[in-house]
């Protein structure tokens, strides 16, 4: 292949922007936001450093898009788990699975979640991402539980998931089952569960 043909094939790269965003998430998962730079992301995405500014005006725009993708993917996973439950008992089991197995099982996801929370604590644009994520989680829970219970369950899922991920002591599934059962036993079923 001639140099000109090689340059043309490198330039035509329709998936480059997505690859950069995915690489950014990998880099944040490995090095945190503080360790994320255009140079490091470009290397992880296997793209020329100069192409970064073609796709993103600055690192903050890249970070925001990467965290948007991450939050959306986590919300999709949560919604799928709750949509698969046919009744309140299955919804309880789905919540237990989310806490015990599904959410933040990957250490990279734990880092990404905490890095997003740290940004959200200081920057309203990132807070809007976390708010949208929580709102989707609560709507998914409200398929089976009343809004107050859904809000409390969302907090329980988050708290126990973080504890499971960070604690050095193993967490027993039966403890999670009891916690979810206690929180939801008196709950009025949401509109979707009463159909």
Query: Angle at the Cα of 60 (from 55 to 65), degrees rounded to 5?
Result: 60
pLDDT of residue 187: 65
pLDDT of residue 2: 45
Better-predicted residue by pLDDT, 10 or 12 = 12
- Give me the helices (H) in 87-172, please: 88-97, 107-122, 124-141, 147-166
Query: How is residue 98 annotated by DSSP?
Result: I
Is residue 3's pLDDT more than 80?
no
Q: What is the mean pLDDT of residues 63-90?
A: 94
The CATH number of the domain covering residues in 58-194: 1.10.357.10
Boundaries of CATH 1.10.357.10 in the chain?
58-194
Better-predicted residue by pLDDT, 2 or 116 = 116
CA distance 173 to 158: 15
Q: Which of 78, 89, 95 is nearest to 189 (CA)?
A: 89
pLDDT of residue 195: 38
| Percent residues over pLDDT 70 in the chain | 88
Contact 82, 143 (CB under 8 A): yes
Is residue 170's pLDDT more than 80?
no
Boundaries of CATH 1.10.10.60 in the chain?
1-56
Burial 55-73 (b: 16+ CB within 10 A, else e): bbeeeeebbbbbbbebbee
Q: What is the mean pLDDT of residues 101-105?
A: 72
Q: How confident is the model at residue 188 (pLDDT cuts 50, 70, 90)?
A: low
| Percent residues over pLDDT 90 in the chain | 66
Q: What is the mean pLDDT of residues 172-179?
A: 90
pLDDT of residue 6: 43
pLDDT of residue 163: 83
What fold is seen in the domain 1-56? Arc Repressor Mutant, subunit A (1.10.10)
């Amino acid at each position: 292949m001639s140099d000109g043909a090689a340059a043309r094939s490198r330039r035509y790269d329709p998936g480059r922007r997505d690859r950069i965003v995915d690489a950014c998430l990998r880099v944040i998962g490995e090095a945190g936001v503080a360790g994320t730079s255009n140079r490091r992301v470009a290397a992880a995405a296997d793209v020329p450093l100069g192409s970064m500014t073609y796709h993103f005006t600055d690192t903050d725009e890249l970070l925001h898009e990467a965290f948007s993708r991450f939050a959306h993917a986590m919300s999709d996973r949560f919604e799928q788990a709750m949509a698969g439950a046919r009744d309140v008992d299955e919804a309880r089991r789905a919540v237990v699975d989310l806490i015990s197995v599904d959410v933040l099982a990957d250490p990279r996801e734990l880092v990404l979640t905490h890095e997003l929370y740290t940004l959200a604590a200081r920057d309203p644009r990132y807070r809007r991402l976390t708010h949208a994520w929580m709102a989707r989680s609560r709507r998914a829970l409200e398929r089976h539980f009343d809004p107050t219970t859904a809000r409390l369950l969302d907090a329980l899922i988050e708290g126990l998931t973080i504890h499971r991920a960070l604690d050095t002591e193993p967490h027993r599934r039966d403890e999670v089952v009891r916690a979810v059962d206690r929180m939801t036993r008196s709950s009025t079923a949401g509109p979707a569960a009463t159909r």
